[in-house]
Amino acid sequence: MFKKYILTVLAAIFLFNVNAQSLYIPRDVQKAYNKGTREADGKPGKNYWQNSANYNISITVMPPDRTVKGTEQITYFNNSPDTLKQLNMKLIMNIHRAGATRFRNTTPDYITPGMQVDSIFVNGEKKPWDNAKALGTNQFVKLSTPLLPHDSVKLNITWHYELALGAGREGVIDPTTFYIGYFYPRISVYDDYNGWDRLEFNDRQEFYNDFNNYTLNVTVPKNFVVWATGILQNPAQVLQPEYIKRMQRSFTSDSVIHIVTPADIAQKQVTSQNDMNTWVWKANDISDMVTAVSDHYDWDGASTIVDDATHRRASMQAAFDDRSADFHLAVKWGLHTLNGLSHNLPGVPYPYPKMTAFQGFADMEFPMMVNDSHEIDLADAQLLQDHEMAHTYFPFYMGINETRYGYMDEGWATTFELFLNEDEIGKQAALDRYRNVRIKPYITDPSSSEDLPIITPTSELVGGYAHNAYGKASLSYLALRDLLGDELFKKALHVYMANWHGKHPIPWDYFNSMNSGSGKNLNWFFYNWFFTNDYIDISLQAVVKEAGGYVFSIQNIGGYAIPFDIKLTYADGATQTIHETPAVWEHNQKQVFFHIATKKVIKSAVLDNGIFMDADVSNNSWTGK
Ligand SMILES: [Zn+2]
């Protein structure tokens, strides 16, 4: 059996057009390439820079009082070649103010007075601040002395705010359980292609942060346990010896250790018995900190080797309401996830020392701690946890600008989740679930917003956001894997990740890195998947008998360069499946012809795209007369 592609004259013209196609680069992004901060081979340029800061943050919370009181010192380093006359502060908690710009409707209990800055000093000089006027999530602070390249500035800020009852990504989980995220005034990203990140936080776009060093002090009343991003620095000061022992045992144990149980909570001897305890956390070179407190959550832990070369273990922990059956499995599930992510896809050792699954409401990733809702269905709960943990790589390890390029992180989390799920419920069941949940709602919706190019900035999308960021982007990654084969795909992905982890890649860095990493010019493929209004619909136009076999003519009505199977049934009852990778569309993205050499009679044929779900399957089959 063999097959070959016929290039018609028409196809040859198309080939010229498609391969000569250099990818559209927005004019502001083009400047970064001109300045040499980014390179055409996909690497950060010799002039690449990014700014960073040291944050020393202290907060106090006394549940059920919902007030968070904070002080911080920020030392901000200007590594850019630019002189900065002002700093843009991100005050994300202003999303809770009445009248804030929000992506969706909210409930009255989501509303609070927002971030209240009590004082702000820049290099010791007190700055005027009017909370009644500082309404938005971006607030510019003018510098009396401009911040020169390679110089730093010190800010001292005190603030307070009220955690919202209508919890979303952060807030009150129950009267004495708080998930505290986006809680401190942060200096927004100033980057080489866009300057200050001024996009208003509207509760949809999630992260775009510098890589900073953090010390976080969380002061709570006794009997409250604190979880947070980073490593606990002072267990002996905040925990009783028995619980330190259990926690430390979990750091070397493959099986689940119950660090704190309901019986322990009832005895009120888990934490040090000072009126207030200050839990000190540190994390370096990380894009955000998050913390959570409770006086009645169970606490489980175990660990697994995530790096075979160094035998480094990562700790998996869970903090949850004892009544939640799913969370009793969270650590066991999490070990599987840490292993799958570290050893399979992306196949990069889990980059942090730990992960905590915290029971909240949001189904939301933060560095080293996810905030997941309780699910009755255990398979759903596990998959949700997989997805949020997978985000460790994108946007955190990779420093994605999710506010503009959401597909650069959600698409990957959706892809990694599929591979984890195949292990958990079996390959076919996982593929069916992915198809039904991630793809079907997109492909069965013919509205034009669904077919906007994936490259469309996330901040400009309303209706098309979800599928552009999740399903369509994920399919592009899976189609590329089918095109390159597992090994080459992974090699190229690792080149991209090595080029950009701990930095701020943009889509063109991904395209260029995958081109260099695979040793192929894949621009035709990236153009097809990211820059067009294409969708998925192929058609088996004709099957014609010819000398020595058959010629199949397949039309690409939707246009996406997808892989597919041709399933043949012969007159003698035998069946055969021929897999075609997206490579078949490289030279002609509208139509391909296959010659199938056989002496037998083909009775029927069908095109099966699997998870690359076809918008119209009525034209995917042929039956001989
Ligand atoms: Zn996600």
pLDDT score for 20: 45
Q: Which helix (H) or strand (E) segment is 606 a member of? A: strand 602-608
Question: Encoding tokens for residue 488?
Answer: 């080459």
Q: How far is the CA of 381 from the centre of ligand 1 (A)?
A: 14
Give the Å distance between the CA of 412 and the centre of ligand 1.
9
If one counts every other C-beta atom within 10 angstroms of the C-beta of residue 13, the result is 11
Dig out the tokens for 534 from the structure: 């294409």
Q: Using the mean position of ligand 1's atoms as its centre, give its distance from the Cα of residue 600 in Å.
A: 49
Tokens of 347: 């196949």
Q: Report which of 356, 358, 390, 353 is spatially closest to residue 371, judged by C-alpha positions.
A: 358
Instruction: Fill in the amino acid letter for 415.
Output: T
Q: Please tell me the distance between residue 364's alpha carbon and the centre of ligand 1 in angstroms.
A: 7
Q: Both tokens of residue 609? A: 């795209």
How many whole angstroms separate alpha carbon 398 and alpha carbon 625?
A: 56
**Ligand 1 centre from 522 Cα, in Å?**
26
pLDDT by 10-residue block (mean), the chain, 625 residues: 40 42 89 95 97 98 98 98 98 96 92 97 97 95 98 98 90 97 98 96 91 98 98 98 98 98 97 98 98 98 98 98 98 98 98 98 94 96 98 98 96 98 97 97 95 96 93 98 98 98 98 98 97 98 95 98 98 97 97 95 97 97 92
- In the reported structure, the alpha carbon of residue 116 is separated from the centroid of ligand 1 by a whole-number distance in angstroms of 30
**From the CA of 115, how far away is ligand 1's center (Å)?**
26
Centre of ligand 1 to C-alpha 199, Å, is 20
Please state, as a whole number, how many other Cβ atoms lie within 10 Å of the Cβ of residue 79: 15
| Residue-wise pLDDT tens digits, 265-297 | 999 999 999 999 999 999 999 999 999 999 999
C-alpha of residue 410 to centroid of ligand 1, in Å: 5
Q: How far is the CA of 411 from the centre of ligand 1 (A)?
A: 8
Q: What is the DSSP string of 519-573?
A: TS--HHHHHHHHSS--B--EEEEEEEEETTEEEEEEEESSB----EEEEEEETTS
- Structure tokens that stand for 464 in this block: 């098309």
Q: How far is the CA of 387 from the centre of ligand 1 (A)?
A: 6
Residue 360 CA to ligand 1 centre (angstroms): 16
Nearest to 89 by CA among 153, 28, 150: 153
The tens digit of pLDDT for each residue in 609-621 reads: 999 999 999 999 9
Residue 91: exposed, middle, or buried by beta-carbon count in 10 A (0-12, 13-18, 19+)? buried
Q: How far is the CA of 241 from the centre of ligand 1 (A)?
A: 38
Cβ pair 519, 41 in contact under 8 A: no
Ligand 1 centroid to residue 365 C-alpha, Å: 7
Task: Tell me, in angstroms, the distance from the centre of ligand 1 to residue 52's CA.
Answer: 25
Question: Which two tokens mark 297?
Answer: 């959550």
End-to-end CA distance of the chain: 23
pLDDT at 178: 98
Q: Cα(388) to centroid of ligand 1, in Å?
A: 6
Structure tokens at 409: 């992180």
Helix (H) or strand (E) run with residue 380 in it: helix 378-390
Q: Are strands 212-221 and 52-61 parallel, antiparallel or unpaired?
A: parallel
Provide the pLDDT for residue 15: 41
Q: What is the pTM of this model?
A: 0.95
- In terms of DSSP H, where are the helices of 426-555? 427-434, 440-443, 465-467, 473-484, 486-500, 507-518, 523-530
Contact 153, 89 (CB under 8 A): no
Amino acid 42 reads G
Is 157 in a helix, a strand, or coil? strand
State the DSSP H helix or E strand holding residue 214, giving kind and residue range, or none if neither: strand 212-221
Q: Give the length of the chain.
A: 625
With vertex at residue 83, the alpha carbon angle to CA 78 and CA 88, rounded to the nearest 5 degrees, is 65
* Residue 548 CA, ligand 1 centroid: distance in Å: 51
Retrieve residue 212's tokens: 């900073």
Ligand 1 geometric centre to CA of 408 (Å): 11
Distance between Cα 326 and ligand 1 center (Å): 20
Centre of ligand 1 to C-alpha 137, Å, is 22
Report how far residue 183's alpha carbon sits from residue 114's, in angstroms, rounded to the nearest whole number: 11
For residues 359 and 300, what is the distance between their CA atoms, to the nearest angstrom?
Answer: 12
What the block records as the tokens of 361 is 């409401």
What's the pLDDT score for residue 486? Answer: 97
pLDDT attached to residue 21:
60
User: How far does the centroid of ligand 1 lie from the alpha carbon of residue 583, in Å?
Assistant: 29
